[in-house]
Amino acid sequence: MSGSDRSRQAPARGIALVRALIRTMRPKQWIKNSFVFAAIAFSEGRLWTQPESIMLACGAFAVFSLAASAIYLINDLADVEKDRAHPHKRHRPLASGELPGHVAGVASVLLLVVALIGAALLDSREGFDPGLLIVIAIYLLVQGLLYTYWLKHLVILDVFTIAAGFVLRAIAGAVVLDIGITPWLLICMGSLALFLGLGKRRAELVLLEGSAGSHRKILDEYSLPMLDQMLSLVTALTLMAYTLFTFSATTLPREPYPVMLTTVPFVVYAIFRYLYLIHHRGGGGSPEELVLRDRPLALSILLYGAVVLTVFALYPA
């Protein structure tokens, strides 16, 4: 009997089945959807102080969470056999047999439908402007179909596709509030997303070591030196883009001086801490878990948010 056969379980029932389904939906990873708040956080006119705008952004967050969970179910269904050979993923409910495939399939369809209906309702608050619906549809097409069955097998483009998912989240937060999508939003969110995507690939390569290609053939196309060099370039791009943003964006205060520059040290520390966790703690495969588990990283993000709010309160743009 193979190791993967020994790890198989009897299908769960009742409450246990619901719990297995929820775990497969990966609610911990919904923290990634906080990218939808990027546009409102740095919007002109301080929309984050308006309850209606906050509710719309939260609605976009909820819709993206449902769509993302549907994609997780689809990905796990497509990779179930490969996951059974993975040292960590073999314990996932689908790979272990705890969650039947047909239950996951039905749940993914329902989540897709609810996400699309939710996006359409948010777009219909003042007439019908299908901005959010289009973004969600593109996300589902790219991540649920193209990435699952094609793009994740293409070197470099697989990382770009992962990054595109984060950028689409930021765009969703802008379109639901009818905020202009600025170059700064795309550059900062895009470079940060590439940073997280490359970190994810590096973590997979380290975890699987010599058997990386047998689990996912595309990993044979990468090497640690190659990924480290890419991470160095993207780290520099991310820090430079954010620093330029703090004193160039028209929505940020410039008098008596570009005070948003005070947030740069927190961004630098968070990125350096993340790199430390990638290289010395084997992290990066699951960014949301690092944020939730590593106190220094979580504290630096919280302090960053506190400083941003303080700057906005004291120095209106």
Q: Of 162, 181, 200, which residue is a domain's last? A: 181
Express each pLDDT in 150-180 by its tens digit: 888 899 999 999 899 989 999 999 999 888 8
For residue 5, pLDDT beyond 60: no
C-beta pairs of 139-143 under 8 Å, 24+ apart in sequence: 139/64, 139/67, 139/71, 139/165, 139/168, 139/169, 139/172, 140/67, 140/70, 140/71, 140/112, 140/115, 140/116, 142/168, 143/71
- Based on the domain organization, do 160 and 256 belong to the same domain? no
Residue 230 within any structural domain of the chain: yes
> What tens digit of pLDDT does each residue of 191-221 get?
999 998 898 888 888 877 655 555 667 788 8
% residues pLDDT > 70 (the chain)? 92
Q: Check whether 307 has a pLDDT greater than 80.
A: yes
**Domain assignment present for 302:** yes
Report the number of distinct structural domains present in the chain.
Answer: 2
Provide the 8-state DSSP code for 109.
H
Q: Residue 53 pLDDT > 80, yes or no?
A: yes
- pLDDT tens track for 225-245: 999 999 999 999 999 999 999
Are 93 and 12 spatial neighbours (Cβ–Cβ below 8 Å)? yes
Whole-angstrom CA distances from 133 to 5, 38, 53, 124, 282 are 42, 19, 17, 10, 37
pLDDT in tens, 104-146: 999 999 999 999 999 999 988 776 788 999 999 999 999 988 9
Instruction: Examine the domain organization and report whether 198 and 307 are in the same domain.
Output: yes
| pLDDT tens-place string over residues 87-110 | 777 888 888 888 888 999 999 999
Q: Is residue 147 part of a domain?
A: yes
Check whether residue 187 and residue 307 sit in a common domain: yes
User: Do 16 and 95 belong to one domain?
Assistant: yes
Residue 232, CA atoms < 13 Å, CB-side half-sphere: 6
Same domain, 95 and 221: no
Q: Give residue 3's pLDDT.
A: 47
pLDDT at 276 over 90: yes
Task: Identify whether residues 21 and 75 lie together within a single domain.
Answer: yes
**Mean pLDDT score, 180-186:** 83
Residue 153, pLDDT score: 87
Instruction: For residue 1, tell me if it sits in a domain.
Output: no
One domain for residues 193 and 169: no
Does residue 4 lie within any of the structural domains? no
Q: Report yes or no: 175 and 122 within 8 Å, Cβ to Cβ.
A: no
Sign, CA torsion 231/232/236/242: positive
Determine the structural domain holding residue 151 and report its residue range: 12-181
Give the pLDDT mean for 241-251: 87
CA dist 85 to 6, 20, 152, 286, Å?
A: 11, 20, 18, 19
Find tokens 């009818």 and name the residue.
178
| Tokens matching residue 78 | 């497509």
> Does residue 139 share a domain with residue 247?
no
Residue 59 belongs to a domain? yes
In a domain, residue 3? The reply is no
Chosen domain end from 181, 210, 242: 181
Q: The tokens of 23 are what?
A: 């775990």
Residues 20 and 114 occupy one common structural domain: yes
Based on the domain organization, do 22 and 124 belong to the same domain?
A: yes
| pLDDT at residue 264 tops 80 | yes
Average pLDDT over residues 72-97: 84
pLDDT band at residue 8 using 50, 70 and 90 as cut-offs: low
**Tokens describing residue 278:** 């990638």
Q: What are phi and psi of 199, to 5 degrees?
A: -60, -40
54 & 161 share domain: yes
Residue 84's domain is classified under what CATH number?
1.10.357.140
User: How far is 280 from 275, CA to CA, in rounded Å?
Assistant: 8
Separation CA 244–CA 246 (nearest Å): 6
225 & 138 share domain: no
Mean of the pLDDT values across residues 2-26? Answer: 75
Query: Residue 97 falls within a domain, yes or no?
Result: yes
- At 244 the pLDDT is 92
CB atoms within 10 A of CB 92: 21
Domain boundary among 127, 160, 181: 181
pLDDT (average), residues 263-278: 94
